[in-house]
Structure 1
Amino acid sequence: MFMPGAAAMLMACATSPAIAASAEVDHARPEAVVEAAIACAKRQDFTCTARLMDPAALADFRRTLGPAFEESAGDPRLDGLFGADSAKRAKDMDDAEFLAQALSRVKRLGLVRIDSAAIVASATEGEAGYHAVVRIAGDFGWPESAATVVDLVSLRKVQGLWWLQPGLEAQVMIDGIKQARMRDLDRKAERTPGQAGD
């Protein structure tokens, strides 16, 4: 998909608006969800990808950033992810659109083009876990940058349906945002009344 590991960020998020809203993706079969995610990734369709993702993971990402939008209007870090007037824009998005917007801003971390992608191996983990090894061939966008990488895509079964789980890059992004938020809160708590910025 993208660079080794960055593929997981794209793959581990999931479904095109058309696919998500229809019966075209058989969420009862984990292989079907991975194949749909591959199709989304080939198009670099982040909304498609996000709609295949575990709703609980989407909600967690939203909860992570939500307070920042409420308290930090005009924060350049947020505007960098969501554009100008980020607080209003974010409020109007559903959880999948919210994550898709963030992912679209970091898409340059990966491949410019995916030529092919296929499941080469898979394994189940108990009754509610599934992992697929996906081989991806593509181009990074500069001369002689064609590459083939292997990535791991994980799914979890929730109430009988399979959903993509956050890949490493998505989890690192979420954790980084949480840490930055905690630092901001710590700095705010350290200020005493009367100091500049209060």
Structure 2
Amino acid sequence: MEQVPTSRIGFMMGSGNLITGVAPAIGPTFGGIVASKLNWRWVFYSLIPLLIISFVLGEWGITQKSPIKKQQIDLFSILMIVFMFCGFVTEFSNLGSQAFMTFSVGSALLIGILGMGLFARRSLTLKEPILQLRLFRNKKFSGHILGFFLTQLISLGFAFLLPNYIQLVNGNSAMTAGLIVLPAGFVGAIFAPLGGGF
């Protein structure tokens, strides 16, 4: 963000969002083709050259413009983030297979809510919190964040449901499921930078 001119920040943020928008559509296609033709481990092996190229390009092209300042990390906030994510992930993972009034569902949900509440309270009392929650007092900012969150939730939901429905209900291959959701990836690739530019 420091290297991009102010007039191009929206376009660059759109290009960055392109990755999160396109990945759910291209991922199943790529994974389906590789899993159908090779061993599933090749999904990971084939990414190694891309990771190396990305690392080299990043080292070459990304520079730190502003001076780096040493920040004090609030350990209590970190601990509450751990509780929050561990609680919510455990609860959602077990929700479909276990009763609500069990430790891995109900108690995990309570741990997640407690962690989130204590983290929010701590963040609002510190001068330099890990996450600046005071920004959510701005209604325009909160509205945009909510819209973006819901759009991503719907997108990821469809990217999960459609391939599973095509494979488990219709009995098609992983490659077919991936190819069916691929057009959404191309549409996302086109509109993400354009949307950011406007």
Answer 1 or 2: higher relative contact order, Cα 8 Å, separation at least 6.
Answer: 2
Same fold (TM over 0.5): no
Q: TM-score, normalised by structure 2?
A: 0.24
Q: TM-score, normalised by structure 1?
A: 0.24
The structure having more radius of gyration, on CA atoms, is 2
Structure (1 or 2) with the greater strand fraction: 1
